[in-house]
Amino acid sequence: MSAFDWANRNVLVTGVSGFLGSWLAQALVDRGARVVGLVRDEPSQENRNYHRVASRIVRVRGELEDGNLMVRLVNEHEVEAVFHLGAQTIVGTANRHPLSTFTANIQGTWNLLEACRQAPLVRRVVVASSDKAYGDLERAEPVSEDAPLRGLHPYDVSKSCADLLAVAYHKTYGLPVAITRCGNFYGGGDLNFNRLVPGTVRAVLRGQAPVLRSDGTFRREYVYVKDAVGCYLLLAEKLEQPGVAGEAFNFSAQAPLGALEMVHEILRAAGRPDLTPRVLDLPEARLEIPYQALDSGKAHRVLGWTPRWSLREGLQETIEWYREDLGARENPGGP
């Protein structure tokens, strides 16, 4: 148990209505923090995780692209800690609309960092980067934090740039900021059913064969959302310790899986190994990075972080979340 006390601290979470943001906001509120959440578009009622916590936080409508709003937000709410999760996160959307992705992910990041630089009360900032900031890896082996950032496609480039901006604000201005580079998050509450895990789980719960857009060979790290919340909180809590500010940290289970392998893990966890996945191998999927794996040794050494949930445990909790959610949605008049 961490000795750090979040009680009565003013904490800003950008992207609070998103998948990870809603889980993180809930964890902070449960710890007694006063959470201010930036919301661009009010989510639908289907976003149960967000609406469960929405009434317990201060919600501010607006966009990261609005620099004046960022300054007002950080100062008027006397923010001490910032979790910058807000971004355009869908790879396909980024490929179709690169300029809006660059504006949200790059300009939005510098707007927020500049607001934090001008705010005397800000003591800790955590910026969400991604394993995709590393771009295409030359070798099929886990990458460490000292690898170059060389995103090639719009989303990857936007994360490489945001990552470098965070380092620049620390090195130049001493901003107390650190960076997370994580694998693919999964867990209950991800309502983007184009993603592998929620799409597969929904299909399985409906008794349908899951569908893969790729050829099934692309390998990724998968991080359970509760482990992700834990690593974000831990990083923020340790930001004042030597060797943390200005640094990036990989967080992963260090067990990359191919997409088809992950689908079969879900089928086993759901008790439906009889369903046969359909592999489409669509052309747009071929633009994605074929192999990504992270070396989390630095997070273990410096922060003392290790994942708490196994893949099987995380998948079982995830499946139960969607079972309850889909049951409530598809049988609203039921008991």
Q: Could you please report the per-residue DSSP string of 217-232?
A: --EE-EEEHHHHHHHH
Lowest mean pLDDT among 86-100, 169-183, 214-228: 86-100
Confidence of residue 2 (pLDDT cuts 50, 70, 90): low
Q: At 29, is the secondary structure helix, strand, or coil? A: helix
What mean pLDDT do residues 113-130 have? 97
What mean pLDDT do residues 329-335 have? 54
- pLDDT: is 258 or 213 the higher one? 258
- pLDDT: is 138 or 280 the higher one? 280
pLDDT at 334 exceeding the cut of 60: no
DSSP state, residue 120: T
pLDDT at 140 exceeding the cut of 70: yes
What's the sign of the alpha-carbon dihedral 130, 132, 135, 138? Answer: positive
Distance in angstroms between the alpha carbons of the first and the last residue of the chain? 38
Q: For 152, phi and psi rounded to 5 degrees?
A: -110, -30
Percent of the chain with pLDDT over 70: 96
What mean pLDDT do residues 116-120 have? 96
Domains of the chain are 10-187+222-254+291-308 (3.40.50.720), 196-215+256-289+318-329 (3.90.25)
DSSP assignment of 268-290? HHTT-TT---EE---GGGGGS-S
pLDDT at 335 exceeding the cut of 70: no
Amino acid at 233: L
Please state, in angstroms and rounded to a whole number, the distance separating the CA atoms of residues 293 and 256.
6
Confidence of residue 258 (pLDDT cuts 50, 70, 90): very high
Tell me the catalytic residues.
155
Buried b (16+ CB within 10 A) or exposed e, 113-148: bbbbbebeebbbbbbbbbbbbbbebeeeebbebebe
Determine if residue 251 is left, alpha or beta; phi over 0 gives left, psi from -120 to 50 gives alpha, anything else beta: beta
Please state, in angstroms and rounded to a whole number, the distance separating the CA atoms of residues 211 and 278.
5
Mean residue pLDDT of the chain comes to 93
Q: At 99, is the secondary structure helix, strand, or coil? A: helix
pLDDT at 332 exceeding the cut of 70: no
pLDDT at 189 exceeding the cut of 90: yes
Measure Cα distances from 288 to 61, 116, 132, 263, 279 in Å.
32, 33, 10, 18, 16
Please state, in angstroms and rounded to a whole number, the distance separating the CA atoms of residues 256 and 237.
28
> Which pTM does this prediction carry?
0.93
Confidence of residue 328 (pLDDT cuts 50, 70, 90): low
pLDDT at 148 exceeding the cut of 90: yes
Confidence of residue 43 (pLDDT cuts 50, 70, 90): confident
Determine if residue 152 is left, alpha or beta; phi over 0 gives left, psi from -120 to 50 gives alpha, anything else beta: alpha
What mean pLDDT do residues 81-107 have? 92
Confidence of residue 1 (pLDDT cuts 50, 70, 90): very low
